[in-house]
Amino acid sequence: MFQVIDKSFGFDTAVEEAQRAINAAHVEAVSAENGIGLVKLMGRHSGKFYERPICYASSIWYLSIVCVN
């Protein structure tokens, strides 16, 4: 019999920490004239699995670039 995992704590933590980084980059970007905030997510599956939920959960993103080998 297969067990199904409804929720992964690692995924939730990764999304929360990325949102925190995006919010910090946004605060720095709006506090400077013509400021730009960049956040780079690093990890084996950060582009494939984490990018979309993180961007949807954050209300202040404008552009997302995913580089996957």
DSSP track, 2-68: ----S--HHHHHHHHHHHHHHHHHHHHHHHSTT--------STTIIIIIHHHHHHH-SS--------
38 in any annotated domain: yes
Mean pLDDT of 16-36: 88
Q: CA–CA separation, 15 vs 45, rounded Å?
A: 13
63 in any annotated domain: no
Is residue 21 over pLDDT 70? yes
Which pLDDT does position 23 carry in this prediction?
87
Overall domain count for the chain:
1
**Do the Cβ atoms of 37 and 29 come closer than 8 Å?**
yes
3 in any annotated domain: no
pTM of the full structure: 0.67
